[in-house]
A = this chain, B = another copy of it.
Amino acid sequence: MPRPSVPRLSRDQIAAAALSQIDETGALSLPKLAATLNVSVSSIYHHFANGREEVIEGIRGLLTREVIDPLDPTMGWREYTEQWAHRYRSAMARHPHVVPLLTLQTVSAPETLASYEALAMVLRKAGFAADDLLHVVSVLDCFILGSALDASAPLDVWADSGAPESALSAAIAATRAQPGDRSRRSFEIGLHILIAGLADLLR
């Protein structure tokens, strides 16, 4: 078979197909990915020399690009942080099965690193002390990641965990009566508390 005049694969194309496979099947298999792309497994390695792990980093990059790009760094730090957090969480919540895979490996996608750097610059300009800045980023990051995991595998499963007088079951029933997305609402409550609390670090 001749070498095609135009490459049949690109990194973005592979990462996008991998993302779809995870969304649909809940897992990533390189043989299946190759089959979807009408290509042999080993040719994926030509674009991602480090194999599976690098493909997953590609997905992280895709997701970051998708939602983080158009943030205006000149707005106030509170608003910037809130939007940054919201976008991150919703990007991940849209791909529930991907999130646990992302937690399995260290962040190296340049788009993701750049978006954290952008947040750090906004916070520095807002006057956060050098000693505090990493803590601020870290606290936000932890909560967003945890919330994304919560959106992936909601606590609601625990409904049938205990006896009928269970405090947790009662709370779940009460929450079910409320409209909207429980996980998203929890996220918003926590985020507002965190931003208000972190603002105190500015004196």
Residues of A within 8 A of B (CB): 99-100, 103-107, 113, 116-117, 120-121, 123-124, 130-131, 133-135, 137-139, 141-147, 149-150, 153, 155, 157-158, 161-162, 166-168, 170-172, 174-175, 177-178, 182-183, 185-187, 189-190, 192-194, 196-198, 200
Contacts and interface: CB of A to CB of B under 8 A. Distances in A.
B190 A139 contact: yes
Contacts of A167: 117, 120-121, 123-124, 133
State the number of copies, please.
2
Contacts of A194: 190, 193-194, 197
A113 B171 contact: no
13 contacts: A99-B103, A113-B158, A117-B168, A120-B171, A134-B155, A134-B172, A135-B182, A135-B185, A137-B171, A138-B150, A138-B190, A142-B146, A196-B197
A143 B190 CA distance: 9
A161 B183 CA distance: 32
A171 B14 CA distance: 35
Given A105-B153, A123-B167, A135-B175, 6 more contacts: A100-B100, A113-B158, A124-B170, A134-B175, A138-B190, A196-B197
Nearest to A177: B131
Contacts of A183: 138
A107 to B, nearest CB: 7
A141 B133 contact: no
Contacts of A107: 153, 157-158
Contacts of A147: 142, 146
A150 B121 CA distance: 21
Contacts of A166: 117, 120
